Structure 1
Amino acid sequence: MSKRPQNDDPDNPDTFDEIVDAETERDPDLAVIEAGSRTLRTQAGPPQGDGIPVRPEDPEVDRALREVEKELAGRWPETQLDPSLVRIEALMDVLGSPQRSYPSIHITGTNGKTSTARMIEALLAAFELRTGRYTSPHVQSVTERISLDGAPIPAEGFIEAYRDIQPYVEMVDAGQEHRLSFFEVLTAMAYAAFADAPVDVAVVEVGMGGSWDATNVIDGQVAVVTPIALDHTDRLGPTPGEIATEKAGIVKQGATVVLAQQPVDAAQVMLKRAVEVDATVAREGMEFGISARELAVGGQLLTLRGLGGEYPDVFLPLHGAHMAHNALVALAAVEAFFGIGSQHARTLDIDTVRSAFASVVSPGRLEVVRQSPTVILDAAHNPAGARAVAEAITETFGFSRLIGVVGASGDKDMKGFFEALEPLFAEVVVTQNSSHRAMDVDELAALAVEVFGQERVGVEPRLDDALEAAITLSEEESEYSGAGVLVTGSVITVGEARLLLRRA
């Protein structure tokens, strides 16, 4: 079976959207994917309220959006980094520093950043604040990265945000050794869009690291640090402590630092940084914590001990202990933003907090997208994330047999990833997503065989074939009535699978 060709030409992006559009040209309301002798046919539109936009229905708007996407793709990709804020600072200067016109909550860490950002956003919105949220990477559409009032800006707004700053981008490009990168331009678009809205508060997730990340031209009143683990070690360092040194750069003078549970060396780095800039520190397990957690239908029921007191009977419609900890960190961040702490010991309105958490969605994070068999998507991409997913699935789902579908980027510790999931998977189907960064399927298969053995590893270069193979494996023996499929390894793989398996 031949592998999907990779396109390294940024001026002619071979995106998965284009592949799907070509396959569904005759019937845009349906995704039809032939896989062997069987056809997967599912409704193309995602459910309402999951925060994932689809392609614009208006052909002219869609054309304009594709043109913007193509121009952005022609810039330095997110994976080609220059550790400097010179270009983004120059752009912010000519734009009039829009990022200074609203307060912000800045989020770094290794795992859980996007889910935590979504929860912070939901809490702030419940207290009637207008929010802007900037997160990365996206699951399906680049427009997801910039949200206003809890929803991705529409395609028209994304196009307008780009065209508004384009002359200034070109001006800065002309004066720099390197043009502004894809991520730098998107960051500027977000900050300008938030100022134009205007928002009451921005919730901003770093792209990578902290000190020299393009988002770090803001001075967050609250700096949130989700759990730090080994990832991007070639760029950030080989230990949690060294990685934390880079991430600590988002902690600014006089800010409040909300620390999730951390490895000892990472915690030490963060505490040292806080002392240097006279920041207040709130630590999970000390100033705030989880008092109780129990499984509930569709999620979990929590009692959270915040900075100002206890919040009982909080329903979170997401699975896994790691999501409960993300919720706790989000609550502490919002309390800190409102000035709640040891000097002002009070709680936020409990009914508002409950309502906010009950509304949270986190696409691509232990997301069930199909039943009979159950298909779950999770964007875990490093060993720490894989361990969290394994624990959550073991706790939440009573699978008698689970088949994995794994496609990864080329710079990840996939042997460690497979080792974390080995006790969970009966078999694993390795595959390759459409990104030029994808790990070669044969290389991924060799790592999988090291962990699982040859007899438990299947290879399908195309993701649609891999999904079909995994579903067939889960259904092939009637005794496995509680079988399921987990698609994981990369947010790109999850986004593409989501397009193929959209829920009706």
Structure 2
Amino acid sequence: MTADFFYDEWGRRRPGDRRDLARAGRLLGLLAPPPLPTLTVVGSKGKGTAATYASALLAAAGCRVVTVTSPGLRHDTDRIRVDGVAVSGRDLAALGRRLSDAARTLPPPGAGYLSPSALFTLAGLSVALDAGPDGAVLEAGMGGASDEVGLVPPTVVAITTVFGGHLDVLGDTPAEIAADKAGVVAELTRAVVSLPQTPDVAAAIDATVAGRTGRRAEVITDTAPEGASALREPAPLAGFPAPAMRSGLHRPNALLGCAAARRLLEATGRPAPDPARAAGVLASVRLPGRLSWHTIPGATVLLDSAVEADGAAAALAEAYRRWDRVDHVLVCLPDHKDLEGVLSALGGLPVTTVRMPDRESLRFTRTRDGLDIADLTPGRLAAFGERIVVLGTVYFTGRVLDLLDADTTRLFAG
């Protein structure tokens, strides 16, 4: 029943139908969750990392925090967490029934639908009716103003790097995409924290935030190419031991999440966490599918959601920090991702491509001869060698996490 409800209208959508933000807003009004200090994460890549670290730092400060991310790591329950712990299947079913009952009072859908991301976001917000959280961290699905997270006025917004993903969907240029993502800000937004952006994207963010907040929201952007700065090592992170934070390409997003969480604490009058406690909680963060290590009989696997050349290069660098060789690389990238760039970054390593023909929205015309995801088993994976790197979209890494039976219930220590 739960799965049927969250995916029902999306599954019945017709060509040309779009997400119905207005109807989702009416459903949110019917649920009437209490207003919460909210940190919303938007951007093109790394949002899940930023949201997880923001939640971890808030928890270290003594806040009870609800986190909504998209998609789930292995299961739909992974989309909604309280203090880093995924809700149970029973709890998600109860949330689904609550939303379903409320949705029955809405007018029937017209040329629009309630998207799964909308319903999981609303389900996460309705946790506030039961769990009594002190704040919420929401990860946008694709956009900002065009995403259902825009229905909830954020206190603080974190913006990861914005690039030309979803052209012709969110906009015709990276600057237009950035304007949509920054459009999540509202009149009551107190601060916007951004990773370094290209000049056109930065200008679009500044103009959008100024226009939507009447220049009341402070935009904090790290533009220093090297060294410590307010974003790169934000208090209370200064002086923390290096193992407390992620390395490589994930580190800027982790620091972004922590810097935004600090701003949320300041905006709500809460003190920063004790540095020793914060260091311990941040060091406990585990992000399956983001440079995560897994062991199966006969092989060790490094799994990462890299979809472009820089991400693939960072994954290889992480592999060589532990190994003296890589036996094989599995790559799953649909047509709209940078397959050529990733293959170039992998050099002459042996590569097998993987397709996901069961995902109708993804096209794999460049890898028709690849291995089908349904044919991938732990034994088949181990047959590629003892040291395997696996790269691909979050939908693919989620399937691999399921294959590896990885624990995705808790992301950090409470």
Shorter-normalised TM-score: what interval?
0.7 to 0.9
Partner of 2:228: 291
- Of 56, 65, 70, the residue aligned with 1:122 is 56
Q: TM-score under structure 1 normalisation? A: 0.71
CA contact (8 A) 1:84 1:212 kept: no
Partner of 1:209: 143
Deviation at 1:244, TM superposition (A): 0.5
- Of 236, 259, 263, the residue aligned with 2:194 is 259
Cα 1:241/1:383, change in 2 over 3 Å: farther
Partner of 1:316: 244
CA contact (8 A) 2:294 2:301 kept: yes
Structure 2 distance, partners of 1:80, 1:406, is: 32
Match status 1:331 vs 2:331: no
Partner of 2:170: 236
Cα 1:89/1:238, change in 2 over 3 Å: same
Match status 1:82 vs 2:18: yes
Deviation at 1:325, TM superposition (A): 1.2
**368-377 or 103-112, larger mean C-alpha shift:** 368-377
CA contact (8 A) 1:432 1:439 kept: no
CA contact (8 A) 1:236 1:246 kept: yes
Q: Deviations over 1:463-493 (max 9, x none)?
A: 5447655533435xxxxxxxx2122212222
CA contact (8 A) 1:410 1:437 kept: no
Structure 1 distance, partners of 2:149, 2:343, is: 32
Match status 1:422 vs 2:357: no
Cα 1:290/1:330, change in 2 over 3 Å: farther
Q: Deviations over 1:221-247 (max 9, x none)?
A: 110001112322231235322221111
Deviation at 1:414, TM superposition (A): 2.9
Q: Which has the higher contact order (CA 8 A, sep 6+)?
A: 2
Structure 2 distance, partners of 1:87, 1:270, is: 27
Partner of 1:269: 204
Deviation at 1:177, TM superposition (A): 4.2
CA contact (8 A) 1:431 1:466 kept: no
- Of 279, 283, 301, the residue aligned with 1:375 is 301
Larger radius of gyration: 1
Show the 5 A alignment for 1:99-498: 101-174=35-108, 176-253=110-187, 254-276=189-211, 277=213, 278=215, 279-285=217-223, 291=228, 305-306=233-234, 310-316=238-244, 318=246, 320-339=247-266, 348-370=273-295, 373-383=299-309, 385-394=311-320, 396-419=321-344, 421-423=345-347, 426-433=349-356, 435-437=358-360, 439=362, 443-445=365-367, 459-465=370-376, 468=379, 471-474=382-385, 484-498=387-401
Structure 2 distance, partners of 1:497, 1:308, is: 35
Structure 2 distance, partners of 1:241, 1:390, is: 31
Cα 1:172/1:184, change in 2 over 3 Å: farther
Identity among equivalent pairs (%):
24
Cα 1:175/1:133, change in 2 over 3 Å: same
The DSSP-based 3-state class of the residue aligned with 2:266 is coil
Cα 1:143/1:473, change in 2 over 3 Å: closer
Cα 1:263/1:437, change in 2 over 3 Å: farther
Question: What are the ranges of 5 or more consecutive residues in structure 1 without an aligned counterpart?
Answer: 1-66, 293-302, 447-457, 476-483
Structure 2 distance, partners of 1:436, 1:80, is: 19
Structure 2 distance, partners of 1:81, 1:246, is: 20
Letter of the 2:166 partner, please give it.
Answer: H
Q: Deviations over 1:78-101 (max 9, x none)?
A: 9987265211111122223x2x52
Partner of 2:412: none
How many equivalent pairs are there?
A: 397
CA contact (8 A) 2:167 2:174 kept: no
Letter of the 1:459 partner, please give it.
Answer: G
Cα 1:460/1:83, change in 2 over 3 Å: closer
Q: Deviations over 1:362-410 (max 9, x none)?
A: 111111111653211112234554454345445x343423422122345
**136-145 or 162-171, larger mean C-alpha shift:** 162-171
Q: TM-score under structure 2 normalisation? A: 0.85
Structure 2 distance, partners of 1:259, 1:354, is: 23
Structure 1 distance, partners of 2:313, 2:43, is: 17
Structure 1 distance, partners of 2:17, 2:242, is: 41
Structure 1 distance, partners of 2:121, 2:236, is: 33
Deviation at 1:192, TM superposition (A): 1.1
Question: What are the ranges of 5 or more consecutive residues in structure 2 without an aligned counterpart?
Answer: 408-414
CA contact (8 A) 1:433 1:492 kept: no
Letter of the 2:333 partner, please give it.
Answer: A
Q: Deviations over 1:148-177 (max 9, x none)?
A: 121111111101111112122122242654
Structure 2 distance, partners of 1:125, 1:348, is: 9
CA contact (8 A) 1:408 1:438 kept: no
